[in-house]
Amino acid sequence: MSLSILLCLPVLLALVATQLPERYVGRGAALLSLIPLGIAIDYLARFNPGNSGLQFVTDKLWISSLGIHYKLAISGLNIALVVLTAILFTISLAWSSQRQIDRPKLYYFHFGLAQSAVLGAFMAQDLVLFVGFFDLMLIPFYFLVGSWGTGDRVRATVKMVIYTAVGSFLMLAAAIATGVLASGQHSTALTFTFTALQHLGLSRTDQDWMFLAFAAAFLVKMPLAPFHGWLADAYKSMPIPAVAVFSGVVSKVAAYGFIAIVLPIFPQASHHYQTLMLVIALFSILWATAMAFTTKDARLVIAYSSVAQMGFIMLGIFSLKSTGDQGALLQMLNHGIVTAASFFIVAAVAARADGSENLDDMGGIAFRAPVLASFFLIVTFANLAMPGSSNFIGEFMILLGVFSTQMWIAIVATLGVVGAAVYALRLFITAMHNRVGGRVKSFEVRRIEVIAIVPLLALILVLGFYPQFGLNKSQDSVKAAIAPAAFGGCQNDFPGRTVLSCVAYDPSKTPTSK
């Protein structure tokens, strides 16, 4: 079975669902989305963790004159994220299907398109294909926010698209330049596949430029602190199912891009900019934690907490240690689940506070809804990385990785862990306990809320008991992906890799000398 099926199914099934009578479109879309989920799980089952290379490769020459391949594959880096994507989309569709949605056919079509684009971005093994899917992801969310959002949604959506496009168009130029320069410097035919580009090292100066362009795209998309301007408006305005998948998987595409593309293809530049990236990540953690303390809006608490979490993931990635990067990958999975669950819970809580997402209007909800409160508590514990949760393992590995690279950054970053406990508990206490809010009409958790929240809770618990589940698939792939960057791109550990310039190579910075 080819990966193209998994790629195309969501959008095709969405088109099938739109043919149903309007009342059944939602339920149809949600049920049909179980098919790609099943396929993704099937791939997970058949995945061979011992192989650090690409598996289930689909490779066709797409644009022959430019050497662009339509190449999809599963590797240790993306398998968990592909499954996560399928899960979160199914859950979001299930949540949507229980609600009255205006113009449902368009709504579910955009959801299907979004899922295909996200899956495409995760599975693409060609730079141009990746950039294409990365940009395409934006379009359905543009419509989802603009047509089905709340508040000043058109402004929010245009802002989001322009912010993201600034980065991703630069990335497009950089992607083309990477292919052209790499083939020029090695006098080979034009190629854009990841594997080929890893063996065609660019010169140092070129790598630096390309790195910055790619980093711009990914940092905006994640987003990290100085590049997050679109975040508050867009997250505030997005419909809940859209924000759950956006924060759950779309932002992970950017983090995944760093591990799968930037580190292997621009190893020297990654090494060179390591400290800069770590500092951005650190700033992000501290700033977002501070914002999450102070905001009065329940949804924004989760939004900023996810910026802080992305900061941790970034720390892990640029620790350039296999522990740190594996922690980052595990944390991507954890955060994807936890943040989606958090958004659904915020929606459930807001529904009991007369539709308000303001913390001042909440309070005392737990008295009449103990089950919901327990759900919330589990998610809160996962979010603050309680020992025993998988998030704890993830953050621990990340900090361990950073600790052996840049100790002071790891020490400061620990403040973020402490801060997470404060804002997560503050959110839980103000919403669920304290004095009963003025407009609160609490009631126990409803079936449609259970549909969305319980599967995610189950995943949180499974990963908490057995985090190895998220780790063992990726070990070898992560090591292979970060190896060139970890050694500054100068150690010739890649058979067939040509190192063009190691002039800037500083032996004191390599991990081996420590």
Partner 1 sequence: MNLAQIAAITQHHLKGPYINWAALSPTVVLTVGAIAVLLLGLLSSPMVRERLVPSAALLTLLGAIGAEISRFNHPATIVHGAMRVDDLAILIDLICAVSAIATVILAWRSAAPREAGHGEFHALLLFSVMGMAILASAQDIIVLFVGLELLSIPLYILCASEYRREGSLESGLKYLIIGSVGSATLVYGLAMIYGATGQTGFTGIGNAIASNNILTDPLLLGGIALTAVGFAFKASVAPFHQWTPDVYEGAPTPVTAFMATATKAAAFAIFLRFFDVALISDQNKWAPLLAALAAITIIVGNVGALGQTSLKRMLGFSGVAQAGYMLSGVIVGTQLGVSATVLYLGVYLAMNIAAFAVIQAHQIETGDDRIAGLRGLGKRSPALAASLTVAMLGLAGIPGTVGFVGKFQLIHALVDGGYGWLAIVLVVGAMISLGYYLRVVAAVWMSPAGEHAEISGVPAPGDVLPVALAPIAGGSPEADQLPYTEIVFVAVLFATLCVVFGILPSPLFHLAAHAGAAFSGLF
Site residues for partner 1 per CB under 8 A = 18, 22, 62-66, 96, 98-106, 128, 131-133, 135-136, 138-139, 142-143, 146-154, 157-158, 161-162, 165-166, 169-170, 172-173, 176-177, 180-181, 184, 239-240, 299, 343, 346-348, 350-351, 355-357, 446-449
Q: Which of 385, 388, 390, 270 is nearest to 329 (CA)?
A: 390
Least distance in angstroms from the C-beta of 460 to partner 1? 20
For residues 19 and 513, which CB has a smaller minimum distance to partner 1 in the complex? 19
Query: Of 49 and 229, which CB lies nearer to partner 1 in the complex structure?
Result: 229
The β-bridge partners of 389 are 387
- Cβ nearer to partner 1, comparing 153 with 221: 153
Structure tokens at 363: 């309070």
Q: For the chain, what is the radius of gyration of the CA atoms?
A: 22
C-beta of residue 28 within 8 angstroms of C-beta of residue 20: yes
The phi, psi pair for 3, rounded to 5°, reads: -65, -20
d(CA 250, CA 270): 23
Given the complex with partner 1, which of 56 and 148 has the nearer CB atom? 148
Question: What minimum distance in Å lies between the beta carbon of 444 and partner 1?
Answer: 11
Q: In one letter, which amino acid is 304?
A: Y
In the chain, the N- to C-terminal Cα span, in Å, equals 47
Q: Cβ 98 to partner 1, closest distance in Å?
A: 8
| Residues in contact with 38: Cβ distance below 8 Å, sequence separation at least 6, in sequence order | none
Tell me the backbone φ, ψ of residue 56, rounded to 5 degrees.
Answer: 50, 45
Task: Please state the closest distance from residue 285 (CB atom) to partner 1, in A.
Answer: 26
Q: Closest approach of Cβ 47 to partner 1, in Å?
A: 28
Which helix or strand (DSSP H or E) is residue 56 part of?
Answer: strand 55-63
Instruction: Compare residues 136 and 412 and give the one whose CB is closer to partner 1.
Output: 136
Task: Kindly state the smallest distance separating residue 430's Cβ from partner 1, in Å.
Answer: 17
Is the N-terminal amide bond of 140 cis, ω within 30° of 0?
A: no
Residue 181: what residue type?
Answer: L
- Nearer to partner 1 (CB atom), residue 243 or residue 460: 243
DSSP output for 354-402: TT--BGGG---GGGT-HHHHHHHHHHHHHHTT-BTBHHHHHHHHHHHHH
Closest separation in Å from C-beta 442 to partner 1? 12
DSSP three-state, residue 281: helix
Least separation in angstroms between CB 129 and partner 1: 9
If the CB atoms of residues 177 and 400 are measured against partner 1, the closer one turns out to be: 177
Packing angle, helices 298-317 and 274-294, rounded to 10: 160
CB of 265 to partner 1, least distance (A): 16
SS3 assignment, position 238: coil
Burial class (CB in 10 A: 0-12, 13-18, 19+), 346: buried
Residue at 34: amino acid letter: L
Residue number, 161 or 286, with CB nearest to partner 1: 161
Q: Which is nearer to partner 1, 98 or 491 (CB)?
A: 98
Which tokens is 464 given? Answer: 């908490």
CA distances from 427 to 52, 142, 181, 265 (A): 41, 29, 50, 41
Please choose, from the candidates 54, 81, 37, the residue with its C-alpha nearest in 3D space to the C-alpha of residue 330.
81
Tell me the closest approach of the beta carbon of residue 18 to partner 1, in angstroms. 7
Q: Which is nearer to partner 1, 296 or 446 (CB)?
A: 446
Instruction: Give the shortest CB-192-to-partner 1 separation in angstroms.
Output: 11
Nearer to partner 1, 181 or 393 (CB): 181
What residues pair up with 55 in beta bridges, in sequence order?
Answer: 74
